[in-house]
A and B are shown apart, each in its own frame.
Chain A
């Protein structure tokens, strides 16, 4: 009989990570790009917990807590940046933001 094993979780985490990455590459809306970054972070978190389970230690859980803290800080700063950009440029489209290129 097949039972639940950590490697299945790892497969799911990798799939989610790759979907998030694809979103970052394809979407132009900065808000959605940030959401996709959250997806990637979550995929990695899942793999931490799965590895933790696999190795029968709890360090992975601790790492996840720190990653969550960083993710919260990241989205706060990221959204702050989006607001600032929007205020200046009236857009959240990443293709429209190219002041450094010109």
Chain B
């Protein structure tokens, strides 16, 4: 029953706020942000409490049988396919559920303060609850279609929330971009489901892992699933939507585009890890793509001037780290990083939101500076997030990130190339985060004097989540990760973990130091540089190519093929009409005769011809 309640509470919140919004907007009244936010936050908090009790129940069980399953109803039954609507709570789901509901509650609370001036506040909170409902479906669903339901649902919620301020065109376009990019990936998910059903005969997540599949099927299935993940989790080649998604409200960026939704790709890989790990091709593809994404996104992040965009590219880069971990078979480490990343990236986003809130919408980091005295709480919490993402001990990022770097080198599937990618990306991460940190909080105030004086610390509803998340960023690493996903890791190696830890801390310090030398004094304004021009390349390759193709087609195919076909078919219709017109005599009896003739023809076909009753 508790599993069901976990997902039902956000749904209830969604309905209450949604109906409230409809009623209020039809009467032209405003909804009180406090009341609406309280409902939404309470729904999430209740969900979190339930998830916690389920987690404790799970802990009390023996390790082998840690699974709480609830089947609600039979969802669909078509031929050999029978899908139940069931919710499964096991150790992997537990991590994700706790992160979603826990971080979700904090972000809901934060939203009460951040969005207090918003007009359609009830709509905002109903979308947010809807997102949590779908995300919980994604991680608790027992079958691939159920996961797909959640997968599409969070995509929808993400689209709605990116375009929440829909009156401005760029926001709408960003929402559409995210939606379409995700659809491309979903194609992979759909085909993977078809393949799974065709060859394994089941869509149940547990049973499909037990099915005996040929190596080729496993490879194709794994690659398709990974392709789906590149869409949702913003990996090369489908990552460009995530930076644009920052058009949405900042709490949304924190919840959906940093902490939860984008990690659903990791969830899917971890959930299907026996199949994914069964193919070396799939694993190395994941590792290479993850590594490249981490590197490319980190490089781009170094050249951004928008506060949220830097964090967005940083998210892409961190997701690349997680995929690297999965790609070397260390799924548990990837999931561990999902958790720690959820803490510190949500924290960074919320702190960034606090800065933006204080400066009334300013997002350019070259228009900031010297804010550490004005916003002390934001500064302290941001520092915690900064230390965590750099991987400085004892912050949470240190544990998970070093695990990943360690695994890339020593794991059965790891090698020096991936290790190199990881270590360079880690250095770059330190560089751009320190750059951001220095530009925002140190140096001289570069904005208007008035704006600077006006800046003030956020209210407690925004401060409290920051404090909690900062604490979690500090201690989150000590929770450890679920250990049930061990594959190819834990090889005996002569390379000491301590050596790697030392190396990565040194690397991070080097990156940070470089940034310190570059930005501590010198505050020359930099323009955002589109380093790789991914969007431009896509524009040229797909946009303009398609345009050329279409205009060519319009010119030649239209004139010589389509029009000819239309003319010929029109002439044919005309001709046959003229022929059939003869039969249109207007006498009911003549029509009856034609019916008889037709019946005779059909009977003759059945009885005498090679019809289905051919053997009379």
A interface residues with partner B (beta carbon < 8 Å): 21, 24-26, 28, 94-95, 98, 101
- Indicate if the CB atoms of A101 and B586 lie closer than 8 Å: yes
Q: Are A25 and B589 in contact (CB under 8 A)?
A: yes
List 9 A-B pairs, minimum CB-CB distance, nearest first.
Answer: A101-B586, A25-B593, A25-B589, A25-B592, A95-B587, A98-B586, A24-B592, A21-B596, A94-B589
Q: Which residues of A contact B589 (CB under 8 A)?
A: 24-26, 28, 94
15 contacts between A and B (CB under 8 A): A21-B596, A24-B589, A24-B592, A25-B589, A25-B592, A25-B593, A25-B596, A26-B589, A28-B589, A94-B587, A94-B588, A94-B589, A95-B587, A98-B586, A101-B586
- How far is it, in angstroms, between the C-alpha of A18 and the C-alpha of B589 when the chains are bound? 15
* Residues of A close to B588: CB separation below 8 A: 94
Docked Cα-Cα span, A28 to B593, in Å, equals: 13
User: Contacts A25-B589, A94-B587, A94-B589 given; 8 further ones with Cβ under 8 A?
Assistant: A21-B596, A24-B589, A25-B593, A26-B589, A94-B588, A95-B587, A98-B586, A101-B586
1/0 per residue B573-608: CB within 8 Å of A?
Answer: 000000000000011110011001000000000000
B binding-site residues for A, Cβ under 8 Å: 586-589, 592-593, 596
Contacts of B596 in A (CB 8 A): 21, 25
Q: How far is the CB of A34 from chain B (nearest CB, A)?
A: 13
A28 to B588, CA, bound (A): 10
Task: Report which residue of A25, A94, A98 has the largest number of chain B beta carbons within 10 angstroms of its beta carbon.
Answer: A25
Cβ of B567 to closest chain A Cβ, rounded Å: 33
How close is B581's CB to chain A, nearest CB, in angstroms? 14
Chain B residues whose CB sits within 8 angstroms of the CB of A94 once the complex forms? 587-589
In the complex, which residues of chain A have a beta carbon less than 8 angstroms from the beta carbon of B587? 94-95
Cα–Cα, bound, A26→B592 (Å)? 10
Question: In this complex, what residue of A is CB-closest to B590?
Answer: A25
Determine chain A's interface SS by DSSP, over half rule: helix
| Chain B: CB-nearest residue to A101 | B586
Residues of B within 8 A of A101 (CB): 586
**What is the CA–CA distance of A94 and B596 in the complex, to the nearest angstrom?**
19
Query: Whose C-beta in chain A lies nearest to the C-beta of B586?
Result: A101
Bound form: Cα–Cα A98–B591 in Å: 14
A24 contact set on B, CB distance < 8 A: 589, 592
User: How many Å lie between the Cα of A21 and that of B595 in the bound state?
Assistant: 11
Q: How far is the CA of A98 from the CA of B596 in the complex (A)?
A: 22
List, in ascending order, chain B residues with CB within 8 A of A25's CB: 589, 592-593, 596
Residue of A nearest to B589 (CB): A25
CB-based nearest B residue for A22? B596
Enumerate chain B residues within 8 angstroms of A26, measured Cβ to Cβ. Answer: 589
Smallest CB–CB gap between B602 and chain A, Å? 16
Q: Tell me the complex Cα distance, A21–B596, Å.
A: 9
Complex: A95 Cα to B588 Cα, angstroms:
8
Q: How far is the CA of A80 from the CA of B521 in the complex (A)?
A: 106
Q: In the assembled complex, which residues on chain A have CB atoms less than 8 Å from the CB atom of B593? A: 25
Shortest beta-carbon distance from B589 to chain A in Å: 5
In the bound complex, CA of A94 to CA of B593 (Å) = 15
A58 and B328 alpha carbons, distance in the complex (Å) = 77
Which residue of chain B lies nearest to A27 when distances are taken between CB atoms in the complex? B589
Kindly state the separation between the CA atoms of A63 and B588 in the bound complex, as whole angstroms: 29
Residue of A nearest to B599 (CB): A21
* B588 nearest in chain A by CB position: A94
Minimum Cβ distance to chain A for residue B593 (Å): 5
* Complex: A2 Cα to B593 Cα, angstroms: 38
- Report how far A62 CA is from B592 CA in the complex, Å: 30
B600 to chain A, nearest CB (A): 11
List the B residue with the shortest CB-CB distance to A24: B592
Residues on B with C-beta less than 8 A from A28 are 589
| Measured CA separation A94–B591 after assembly (Å) | 13
Question: How far is it, in angstroms, between the C-alpha of A95 and the C-alpha of B585 when the chains are bound?
Answer: 11
Of all chain B residues, the one with the shortest Cβ separation from A102 is: B586
From residue A86, how far is it (CB to closest CB) to chain B in Å?
18
Q: In the bound complex, how far is the Cα of B592 from the Cα of A94, in angstroms?
A: 13
- Distance in angstroms from A51 CB to nearest chain B CB is 18
Question: In the assembly, what is the distance between CA of A67 and CA of B502, in Å?
Answer: 96
- Distance in angstroms between the alpha carbons of A101 and B596 in the assembled complex: 22
CA distance A21 to B589 in the complex (A): 10
With A and B bound together, what is the CA distance between A21 and B599 in angstroms? 13
The CB with the most chain A CB atoms within 10 A, among B588, B592, B596, is that of B588
B-chain residues with CB within 8 Å of residue A98 when the two chains form the complex: 586
Q: Which residue of B lies closest to A18 (CB)?
A: B596
Complex: A42 Cα to B589 Cα, angstroms? 21
**Nearest CB to that of A26 among chain B residues?**
B589
**CB of A16, distance to nearest CB on chain B (Å):** 16
**Distance of A95 Cα from B593 Cα, bound (Å):** 15
- Inter-chain CA distance A22–B588, complex, in Å, is 13
Q: CA separation between A24 and B592, bound complex, in Å?
A: 9
Per the bound structure, the CA–CA distance linking A98 and B587 in Å amounts to 8
Shortest beta-carbon distance from B494 to chain A in Å: 88
User: Which of B589, B593, B596 has most A Cβ within 10 Å?
Assistant: B589
- Alpha-carbon gap, A68 to B581, bound state (A): 40
CB distance from A31 to the nearest CB of B (A): 15
How many Å from the CB of A93 to the closest CB on chain B? Answer: 11
A94–B586 Cα distance when bound, in Å, is 11
Residue in chain A with minimal CB distance to B594 = A25
* Distance in angstroms between the alpha carbons of A95 and B586 in the assembled complex: 9
- Interchain nearest-CB distance for B157 vs A (Å): 56
Cβ-closest chain B residue relative to A97: B588
Report B601 CB to chain A, min CB distance, Å.
16
- Minimum CB–CB distance from A79 to chain B (whole Å) comes to 18
Which residues from B are CB-within-8-Å of A95?
587
* A25 and B589 alpha carbons, distance in the complex (Å): 5
Give the CA-CA distance A6 to B200 in the complex, in Å.
55
- A101–B585 CA distance with the chains assembled, in angstroms: 10
In the bound complex, residues from chain A placing their C-beta under 8 Å from that of B592 are: 24-25
Question: A35: shortest Cβ distance to chain B, in Å?
Answer: 15
Distance of A101 Cα from B588 Cα, bound (Å): 10
CB distance from A11 to the nearest CB of B (A): 16
Q: Looking at the assembled complex, report how far the CB atom of B370 sits from the nearest CB atom of chain A, in whole angstroms.
A: 89
Cα of A1 to Cα of B586 in the assembled complex, Å: 53
Name the distance in Å between A102's Cβ and chain B's nearest Cβ: 9
Rounded to whole Å, the gap between the CB of A97 and the closest CB of chain B is: 9
CB distance from A38 to the nearest CB of B (A): 16
Closest chain B CB from A98 CB (angstroms): 6
Q: Complex Cα distance A83/B463, Å? A: 91
Cα distance A28–B592 in the bound complex, in angstroms = 13
